[in-house]
Amino acid sequence: MKPKIIVTGGTGYIGSHTIIELIRSGEFEAVAVDNCVRSTPETIGRIKEITGICVKHHAVDICDKKAFFAMIEQEAPIAGIIHFAAYKCVPESVEKPLMYYRNNLGSLENVLEACEKYHIPQLIFSSSASVYGDVKELPVTEATPFGKPFCPYAHTKQIGEQMIHFFAEQHPDFQSVILRYFNPVGNDMSGLNGELSPDKPNNLMPIVTQVAIGKMKQLTVFGTDYDTRDGSCIRDYIHVCDIADAHVKALQFLMNGKNESNCETFNLGSGNGVSVLEIIDAFEKVNGIKLNYIIGGRRPGDVPAIYSNSGRANELLGWHCRYTINDMVESAWKWEQHLLKSKQAE
Ligand code: UD1
């Protein structure tokens, strides 16, 4: 029997790609838990189309402790949990802070309590580079201290990490890995699974693809007066399948007892800073499409440049990025087109 891994947020963007990688590894059985408030149960069918495996899906809210624990009891024995389920929209978190604290931290509290109560030995936690805030020194390593949280979303990730640290201190048999993502973009290279963005997305890549397909009229580049090579902001974009693969490697790392402490932290970035204008250029060249964009003012809260030093994950997890910026823009576009075709077929 393969070790069973519960993937919370399993029908979401990174969760579903991680399930695909877990299946591809051939080493794990994945079970998805997701109430689908920000995703769709149809993702299970997409995973099946890509992998041939129909994973079990529980439509459970992890904040509902009774329902969540009943599900855990039903699925026992469980080898590990990968906890993705959380809200992640920065402006929304500013508008509705309590909703973010309640959902992101309430769910984590239940996940940790389940690990304690049901002796689930391993946890992988989905964190974010936003914990670093406005960093002064680049590239960012895991030793870079937390910055001032610039929004409730980032704050929930900081508190979440600290909750896991304090919990791990009291539970020596419990092993955990915290993964801090930089800017996950792109989709499965088949174009059959991807991010279901809201109608008004905030992140660059879904805006690029929505402008390209005509759902949005225009892309505004938020500032070209930064002190960067072309004046636009620099970020560390990383293909979602590479992020997903790191979760599989993190589980293997814990299962093989390679961790030194029972709460290990890794940055997940490509290590390359890429500007907004370079993303636009790559998208246009790779996909042969002209994007309708204008240069606008700066977006409040944006830092000029941030990118990762991912040496620790490279060395200790044996993890390396397999995909390039061209793969990211190609797969992002394939998925947007796939969504349009599926809608037209309805
Ligand atoms: C944002 C979040 C971060 C979160 C991450 C998830 C903020 C301040 N940060 O990061 O906490 O973890 O998403 O991927 O919201 N851009 C444009 N025009 C647009 C949209 C974006 O020029 O219409 C630029 C931005 O100025 C930025 C870059 O594109 O330089 C990337 O933006 P985005 O995708 O929103 O990611 P981050 O802001 O880096």
The per-residue DSSP string of 307-338 comes to -B--HHIIIII-------HHHHHHHHHHHHHH
CB 84 within 8 A of CB 12: yes
pLDDT score, position 38: 93
Task: Give the Å distance between the CA of 65 and the centre of ligand 1.
Answer: 33
Gap from CA of 154 to ligand 1 centroid (Å)? 13
8 Å CB contact between 259 and 175: yes
Cα-based distances in Å from 245 to 28, 86, 275: 13, 20, 25
Greatest alpha-carbon pair distance for the chain in Å reads 57
Predicted confidence at residue 197, as pLDDT, reads 83
CA geometry: angle 329, 13, 23, nearest 5 deg:
100
Residue 234: closest CA among 295, 307, 283, 182: 307
CB atoms closer than 10 angstroms to residue 71: 19
Smallest CA separation from ligand 1 atom 2, residue:
90
Helix (H, G, I), strand (E, B) or coil at 39: coil
What is the spatial distance between Cα 24 and Cα 153, in angstroms, rounded to a whole number? Answer: 31
Give 17 Cα–ligand 1 centroid separation in angstroms.
21
CA–centroid distance, residue 33 to ligand 1 (Å): 28
Nearest protein CA to atom 26 of ligand 1, as residue: 222
What residues contact residue 225 under an 8 Å CB cut-off, 6+ apart?
231, 298
Distances (CA, A) of 253 to 78, 209, 258, 313, 319: 17, 36, 5, 11, 11
Ligand 1 probe mutation, 14, 185, 204, most atoms within 8 A of CB: 204
Question: Residue 328 is encoded by which pair of tokens?
Answer: 């990211």
Name the helix (H) or strand (E) containing 342: helix 325-345
**Ligand 1 atom 4 nearest Cα:** 130
Tell me if 12 sits within 8 A of 38, measured CB to CB.
Answer: yes
Mind listing the pLDDT tens digit of every residue in the chain (346 residues)? 999 999 999 999 999 999 999 999 999 999 999 999 999 999 999 999 999 999 999 999 999 999 999 999 999 999 999 999 999 999 999 999 999 999 999 999 999 999 999 999 999 999 999 999 988 899 999 999 999 998 999 999 999 999 999 999 999 999 999 999 999 999 999 999 999 987 789 899 999 999 999 999 999 999 999 999 999 999 999 999 999 999 999 999 999 999 999 999 999 999 999 999 999 999 999 999 999 999 999 998 888 999 999 999 999 999 999 999 999 999 999 999 999 998 888 7
CA 13 to ligand 1 centroid distance, Å? 16
Whose CA is closest to 176, among 80, 313, 244? 80
Gap from CA of 280 to ligand 1 centroid (Å): 14
Reading the block at residue 38, the tokens are: 């920000």
If one residue of 276, 280, 283, 303 were mutated to test the ligand 1 pocket, choosing by the most ligand atoms within 8 A of its CB, it would be 276
For residue 153, the ligand 1 atom closest to its alpha carbon is: 11
Atom from ligand 1 closest to the CA of residue 296: 22
Task: Quote the CA–CA distance of 124 and 140 in Å, as a whole number.
Answer: 21
What pLDDT shows up at residue 301?
A: 83
Output the ligand 1 site: residues, CB below 6 A.
Answer: 90, 128, 130, 154, 183-184, 202-204, 207, 219-222, 233, 235, 276, 299, 301-302
Q: Which atom of ligand 1 is nearest to the CA of 306?
A: 39
Which of 140, 156, 203 gets mutated to test ligand 1 (max ligand atoms within 8 A of its CB)? 203
Active site residue ranges: 153
